Structure formats: structure tokens, C-alpha cells
Amino acid sequence: MADNKFDTPEIREYPIIPKLQRDVMSHSKPFIAKEPHQEPLGFPGELVDDWHDVAIKKMGDLQSKYRSLQVYLDSCVKCGACTDKCHYYVGTTDPKNMPVARQDLYRKVYRRYFTFAGKYFPKLVGAKDLTKEVLDDWYSYFHQCSQCRRCSVYCPYGIDTAEISMAAREVMDTIGVGQKYCNEIIGKVHKIGNNLGLPGPALEDTLEGLEEDVEEDTGVAVKFPLDVKGADVLLVTPSADFFAEPHVDGLIGYAKVFHEAGISWTISSHASEAANFGMFIGSYENMRKLALRIREAALELGVKRIVFGECGHAWRVAYSFLNTLAGPWDFLDQNYPIPQHICEVTHGLIEDNKLKFDKSKNDDMVLTYHDSCNVARASRMGDKPGGQFAIPRNVIKAVCNNFYDMSSDTIKEGTFCCGGGGGLLTDDLMELRVKGALPRMEALRKVVEDNGVTHMAAICAICKSQFSKVFPYYDFTMDQIVSVHQLVSNAIILTGQNDENEENEEKDGKNHSQRDIDEAA
Amino acid sequence: MQISILSISIAALFYLAFIILAYGLVFKVLQYTKTPAPLKIPTMPAPITKAGVIFRMSKEVVLFESLFKSSKATWLFGWLFHFGLFLDMLRHLRYFIDPIWTWVLIIQPFGKYGSILMFIGLVGLLIRRIVVDRVRYISAPSDYLMLVLILCITSTGIAMSFYLGADVISVKSFFVGLLTFDIQNIPADPVLISHLIMVALLMIIFPYSKLLHAPGLFFSPSRNQVDNARENRHIAKWAKELEKN
Ligand code: SF4
Ligand code: SF4
């Protein structure tokens, strides 16, 4: 645990662009991966002797494999349009957290070794040798990028710093300088099937517990099936949904929707994880290996559809990459999108009038919605561009009476990251996470004051965990973040369910235990 | 007719500059074309059809749409500069084409004012680079020099077309001569000669500098990809290889 003392940034009344303060975040570095975290992923356990040459070779290799990298390294004109667009710059004021400056950490090495100007006139174009100091900067600042793509929206050439961060992390992994948090987790999925390292029997227990809870709550026997062959739908959901708050309330929501719509579904113990941290470390091979578990599970269980639970980057990998990594999906039912988001499923059922809601069940809340970056800027829902904005909002509005959006430059394609994405959701980066959350906290504070908003809904496991952790720093409480399907779960009327009074009491009781679990974690 | 050493030198310089520019650009464009984009990474929301992508790219190329969203001042100066440059380049066609196309004749007066737009844009960009702390931080010497170089080209051009005048007939016969490998004399006017030398220098730098943003924009996967990952399987050759084992 980092017990660095740091100050939580002040919520500013008029967010103006802060003046830069050099190197104020250069101390921020996540724990380094040790041999047992590195080797299962195919990376060396510690800094290799000829690291300099290996790194340069890897850079050349990546440039020849990724057009994005090659084009982005060449095309930046240093116009500065992106400089104020990163939440980490806004929250920390460290200039190396300006997207272009972050890219330049990589670009100056690229220029030195791969371009005419950098080879012969390094000073003129700001090219630098790859030294130990440069490597230290890389480790620090490429782990201060949540790969949220906000900068890419505003760059005249669409330069996406996330692509550069991913490349830099892969180069570092290749020379033995990996990040413990991501690599340890990826190892667990390779071995066990989910980020938590939760084995099949434990998962089964958890799901049984949920079945009991829901039946007690509602009087309806809603099932949480595991490894059921021949089910129609394979649900792939972030493993946080199995135990963390408010995630698990979302999982209960999905189960109720499936139950009420009469869709047979199952979770797989082999692919019990939607998250794919292979993306965060820029490793195509690792990302592919993780994605293939889903294919194996789908084949093994003989399902017809694949549905993803609420998770931001998982949905990016699912929507944008799954067909590439683990397709073709010709053995699934082609009448449904492959894969499908749980919000698309619920939204479709709502449109077809297949679900009934008592919206007043959510009247104790006034809601706003946080667009998760990977859903907003790296994927889609439905069949129209922008469905990723409309569909979750429509689901919320179908189950809640009170909803207000945050200010327009902080939502949809301009949404600010929660501060914990991209493989940074670890306690050793707490200062960064708290500071990076500033722009979102300011936007939230505003709707709290202006519109009386009490809760923020999200559809990303990382966002939910991050907010429940950083809310207290900004004088919110951790239970003010909710899952979208938690709202669905509250309002849905199951055929044959208990009468309401009992249920309200139950809900109060649950809110207490929710707090206990978070503090324990 | 005796051809001066100066004329031969300038002619040689332009041949060299052209070869370097063409070689460098072709090399880069081939490199970009050959390098695969293994994953679908358009910045969403993205168009779901090819036609939609063409529309999106046109808005970027013509209007600088993304820049407009991010920084109004940079957009204004950047757009003025590029639009002025575009007008002025069209105007300069008259030095290469004989007889001059009618539309090139018609735009001559507007083209002339293109240089003024360029000048305003460039000065704005330079001031911004010096004054705004974030932009100053990310600027290397080459970033200032590039602006200064183009500013000098623009100023010498303005000086000639508005004040000093130039022997346009001779300039034209020189450039038409270059195109037909029949070298003619260039007037020994110091302003004209420095204008031309700086243009040649810019041509030489082009493929080895950030001026690559011009071809780069068309190859940027976050802008030029269609959002259809669920419908069509997109796979790069090297990624396909992985499927063999
Ligand atoms: S991707 Fe997001 S976190 Fe990374 S530099 Fe861009 S805005 Fe910042
Ligand atoms: S907006 Fe794009 S071109 Fe401009 S400085 Fe940032 S990365 Fe470079």
C-alpha cells in the first residue's frame, strides 16, 4: 500500500486550464512485476542485460505491425490542442500528463533511432537516446494514462495516446519491466479463468448464495446458472460482478431480466471473466489468448448467443476486437449481434414491452449517468452510431423517474475517465487515481448542487470500483455509485413476486451490508 | 542565350528538392500502406459505412472539425493558414501551366490575398506557441523554425506581389523550362531568389518532418476506419499467422 500523503485537489467553481508544474508526478510508479508475474505471460522476469537493444528492436517491430503507431509517431504537429484534454493533466498539472507530452516520451526515442532528422539533428527536433532516465519516465508516465482515448477525439489527426501507451508498455514488458497489477491478473486468467483467481467451486457457492438472496427478497426462484450445457446465452461478465458492490446488484439485475424474459442462460467457469487486461499492456498475443477462452466456453457449452455484462474495456474488446481475436463466430445464432451487450438485451426487451417496471422503486434516488470511456469512444451499442450513449440512458429512464445529465462537455464522446481505467486500478497508484478523478467529480458536484442528483450510474466494473474508492476523498459516499442493472433490478416486476413492503425493508438492510463489504475490501 | 550560373544552381536545387520530396513521400505512403492496422480502432461514434467515412474525413480535411472542437484559437489560425496556403498554391499554378487555365486566371486576385491569410494564421500560431505555457513546453526548436521558415516564404511572396513586383514572365518561363528540361534564365532578384531557395528547403524537409501530418491524416485508423467490427471480421496477415498454432 502506498501511504504517500497527498492532497485531494479542490473542486474548482470555474474549471479553467491549470498552469503546468513540472515533474510533480514523477514519483508516481506502480509496483514492478516480479518473475512469477512475468513468466506466465512470456516476458522476462527482470530487466534484461541488453535491454537497450532489445527495446529498440521491439519498437521497430511494433511500428511495422501497427499502422496506428507508425502514423501517430510521424503526424503530430505539436499544435497543443490535446494538452488540456487529459484528466490526469487537469488533476495533477504535471506537463508530462498532457497527451502530446506523454507521446513525446516515446516519440523522442523513435526520432533518435528511426528518423533521419533525429539521427543527424537530435537537438533540433528534440530526439533523445533511450537511457535509464528515459525508461524511468516511461514507466512512470505510461502508467499515468488510462488509455481513455479522450485526447484522440480532439486531435486533428485522431492521434490516440492510448495506442502509444500500449506500445510503450509492451516494449517495457519485453525487456522485463512489467507492471505487477496487470500482469499478475492476466496470469490468473490464463490459469484459472478470471481476474480474481476465483475457482469454479467458489463461483458456484457465490451464485447459489445469490439465488437464495433473490428468492428471499422477491419470492421468485431466479436462477444463476453455471456451466449449463445447451443454454441459449453465455453471459460473460467482469468477475467483480460476483462479489463487489455495487457490481453484484447489477448481476442480480441481469439475472432478473433473463428470468423474466424467459431466456435460458449460463455463466461459464472456464470464461468467468469479461475483463481483458491483455489490452492494457498492448499485448495482442495475451489479449487473444484471453479472448479464446470465451470461444472455447461457447463451443463447449453449445450456446447460441454471447452477452457481455457491464464492463467498459471488456466491451471494447468484445465489440471491436472479439471477432478479430477469436472469430469467426459462424456457429452462433446470426440473428443476434455477436457479441451483445446486456444493455442492448434489456433495451430490446423494454422496446418490445416484455418487461414491467415500477419506476417508483427508484424514487429514493436522483440519477446521473457516467459514460465509461471505452464504451463511449471505442465501441457501440445498437445499430446506429451513438447507440452507446442512447441505450444505457434509455434503460435508466425506463426504470427511474429522476434523471439529469452532467454538463455536455463531460459526457458522451467527451466523457472524462473515472481515473482508474487502463490497468491503473491499484492501490499503489491511489494518488493518481484520486487526482485523475477531478474533472468527473467537478461535473458530478455541479449536478448534485443544481439538480439534487444523489447517485451516479455506470456500466463499467472499473468505474464502479474506482468511484466507490475515490468518492470519499471528494465528500461523496461510496454507495452513491450504482450499476445500471441495479436500477433495473430495483424496478423490475417479476411475475409472482412478493408484495412490496417486505421488499423495501430488505433493501434498507442491504444498503448497510453494502458498506461493510466495501470497507472490508 | 547565355544561362547564368544562378539559374543553373536554382534549377539544380529544384530538381534535387523535387526528387527528395517525391522519394520521401512515396516511401512514407508505401510504408503506411504496407503497415497493417490489426485492430478496429475508430474513435467512436464512427460512421458505419464507407460513404460515412469519406464524409467524416472530408470534414477533417476541409474544416478541421476535431480541432474546432478542441481549441477555437488554434483552429482559427490553423485554418486561416491552411486555407490561405491552398488558395495561394492554386494561384501559383500559373507559373507552371501554359496556356493558363481560365479558372486559375479567375482566382488570381483571391489567391493573392491567400498570402495575407497565411501571414495572419502563421503569426497567430507562432504567438500561441510562445505565449501558452503548455504549447511552449511541447515545442522543440524545429517547431519554431518551421513556422519562421514558412513565415519568411510568405513575407517574401507578399513583398513581391504587393510592393516590389517581380518579373513574372521570366519566372514563368523558368519554371515551364524546368518542366520541359529546357533551362531558362531566372531574374537575379534577391527577394525572388530567397523566396525560391526557402521553398526548395521546405520541399526537402517535408518528408522528414512533422509535415507528414498531411499524408498521415488519411492513414489515421482512428479516423478512416468504418465501425463494423461485429459484422465483418477484420484480421491482419501477421495476426492470421498466430491462428496456425
Ligand atoms: S488516452 Fe486518456 S489518459 Fe491517456 S493521454 Fe489520452 S486523455 Fe490522457
Ligand atoms: S492534438 Fe494531436 S497533433 Fe496536436 S499536439 Fe496533440 S497529438 Fe499532436
DSSP of chain B: -PPPHHHHHHHHHHHHHHHHHHHHHHHHHHHHHHS---S--PPSS--SSHHHHHHHHHIIIII-HHHHHH-HHHHHHHHHHHHHHHHHHHHHGGGT-SSPPHHHHHHHHHHHHHHHHHHHHHHHHHHHHHHSHHHHHT--HHHHHHHHHHHHHHHHHHIIIIII---HHHHHHHHHHHHTT--------HHHHHHHHHHHHHHHHGGGSGGGHHHHHHH-HHHH--S-TTTS----HHHHHHTT-
B222 and A321 in contact by Cβ < 8 A?
Answer: no
**Cα B39 to Cα B229: distance, rounded to the nearest angstrom:** 9
**Cα A415 to Cα A406: distance, rounded to the nearest angstrom:** 10
Note the pLDDT tens digit of each residue in B203-222.
999 999 999 999 999 999 99
What top-level class would CATH report for the domain B5-25+42-244?
Answer: mainly alpha
- Whether residues A224 and A107 fall in one domain: no
Residue A75 forms part of a structural domain: yes
Q: Considering only alpha carbons, which residue of chain A is nearest residue B232?
A: A323
**Cα B104 to Cα B169: distance, rounded to the nearest angstrom:** 16
- Whether residues A180 and A229 fall in one domain: no
Dihedral sign computed on CA atoms, order A112, A118, A120, A122? negative
Q: Which of residues 176-205 of B touch A (CB under 8 A)?
A: none
Q: B185 C-alpha to center of ligand 1: Å?
A: 55
Residue A441 forms part of a structural domain: no
Note the pLDDT tens digit of each residue in A100-123.
999 999 999 999 999 999 999 999
**Looking at A131, A162, A185, which one is the last position of a domain?**
A185
Degrees, nearest 5: CA angle A363-A367-A370: 155
Report yes or no: B129 and B144 within 8 Å, Cβ to Cβ.
yes
DSSP structure class, residue A45: S
Dihedral sign computed on CA atoms, order B105, B109, B113, B115? positive
**Cα A449 to Cα A406: distance, rounded to the nearest angstrom:** 11
**Cα B234 to Cα A436: distance, rounded to the nearest angstrom:** 34
The ipTM value here is 0.96
Interface test with B, best of A24, A59, A79 (most B CBs within 10 A): A79
Q: What is the pLDDT of residue A503?
A: 46
Note the pLDDT tens digit of each residue in A369-401.
999 999 999 999 999 999 999 999 999 999 999
**B218 touches A at CB < 8 Å:** no
Note the pLDDT tens digit of each residue in B56-84.
999 999 999 999 999 999 999 999 999 99
Give the pairing type, strands A367-369 and A305-308. unpaired
**Looking at A185, A206, A235, which one is the last position of a domain?**
A185
The SS3 assignment for A345 reads helix
- Whether residues A210 and A151 fall in one domain: no
Spans of all domains in chain B: 5-25+42-244
Task: Using the predicted structure, report yes or no on whether residue B173 has a pLDDT greater than 90.
Answer: yes
- Whether residues A179 and A199 fall in one domain: no
The residue count for chain A? 521
- Three-class HEC string of B28-73: HHHHHHHCCCCCCCCCCCCCCCHHHHHHHHHHHHHHCHHHHHHCHH
Which residue range is the domain that position A458 belongs to?
192-404+453-520
CB-CB neighbours of B26 under 10 Å: 11
- Whether residues A202 and A150 fall in one domain: no
Instruction: Check if A166 has its Cβ closer than 6 Å to any atom of ligand 1.
Output: no
Q: Considering only alpha carbons, which residue of chain B is nearest residue A66?
A: B37
pLDDT, mean of residues B157-171? 92
- Whether residues A172 and A201 fall in one domain: no
- Whether residues A181 and A196 fall in one domain: no
- Whether residues A70 and A119 fall in one domain: yes
Report yes or no: A106 and A94 within 8 Å, Cβ to Cβ.
no
Which listed ligand is nearest to B71 at the C-alpha? 2
CB-CB neighbours of A179 under 10 Å: 28
**Cα A154 to Cα A167: distance, rounded to the nearest angstrom:** 21
- The grid cell for B174 is 523558368
- The grid cell for A473 is 476523498
Residue A305 forms part of a structural domain: yes
What residues contact B12, with CB distance under 8 A and at least 6 apart? none
Residue A40 forms part of a structural domain: yes
Nearest in space to A72 (alpha carbons), one of A101, A103, A116, A41? A103
- Whether residues A318 and A467 fall in one domain: yes
Residue A475 forms part of a structural domain: yes
Which amino acid is it at A332? L
Q: What is the pLDDT of residue A499?
A: 66
**Looking at A165, A185, A205, which one is the last position of a domain?**
A185
CA end-to-end distance (rounded Å), chain A? 13
Nearest residue (by CA) to ligand 1, atom 3, is A145
Q: A77 C-alpha to center of ligand 2: Å?
A: 6
CB-CB neighbours of B142 under 10 Å: 20
Report yes or no: A386 and A425 within 8 Å, Cβ to Cβ.
no
Number of folded domains in chain A? 2
> Residue A81 belongs to a domain with what CATH number?
1.10.1060
- The grid cell for A293 is 477462452
A45 to chain B, minimum CA–CA distance in Å?
24
Q: What is the pLDDT of residue B112?
A: 85
Q: What is the pLDDT of residue A310?
A: 98
- The grid cell for A470 is 475515490
Residue A9 forms part of a structural domain: no
Residue A23 forms part of a structural domain: no
- Whether residues A243 and A352 fall in one domain: yes
Q: Considering only alpha carbons, which residue of chain B is nearest residue A379?
A: B44
Q: Chain-centre distance of CA B79, in angstroms?
A: 13
Task: Using the predicted structure, report yes or no on whether residue B114 has a pLDDT greater than 70.
Answer: yes
**Cα B42 to Cα A63: distance, rounded to the nearest angstrom:** 18
A125 and B140 in contact by Cβ < 8 A?
Answer: yes
Q: What is the pLDDT of residue A193?
A: 82
What is the H or E stretch that residue A483 is in?
A: strand A481-483
> Which residues on chain B are in Cβ contact (under 8 Å) with A159?
220, 222
Q: Considering only alpha carbons, which residue of chain A is nearest residue B33?
A: A67
**Cα A173 to Cα A176: distance, rounded to the nearest angstrom:** 5
- Whether residues A203 and A242 fall in one domain: yes
Nearest residue (by CA) to ligand 2, atom 8, is A76
B45 and A385 in contact by Cβ < 8 A?
Answer: yes
DSSP structure class, residue A306: E
Q: Which residues of chain A have pLDDT under 50?
A: 1-3, 501-521
B46 and A385 in contact by Cβ < 8 A?
Answer: yes
Nearest in space to A258 (alpha carbons), one of A150, A358, A340? A340
Q: What is the pLDDT of residue A195?
A: 83
Note the pLDDT tens digit of each residue in B17-48.
999 999 999 999 999 999 999 999 999 999 99
CA dihedral B116, B122, B126, B131 (to 10 degrees): 70
> Which residues on chain B are in Cβ contact (under 8 Å) with A152?
43, 222
Residue with cell 433490478: A489
**Prior bond to B99 cis, omega within 30?**
yes
**Cα A420 to Cα A433: distance, rounded to the nearest angstrom:** 6
The SS3 assignment for A86 reads coil
Residue A176 forms part of a structural domain: yes
Side by side, which strands form the sheet with A455-458? Answer: A367-369, A455-458, A481-483
- Whether residues A261 and A369 fall in one domain: yes
Concatenated DSSP letters for A363-401?
TT--EEE---HHHHHH---SSSTTHHHHHHHHHHHHH-S
> Which residues on chain A are in Cβ contact (under 8 Å) with B145?
124
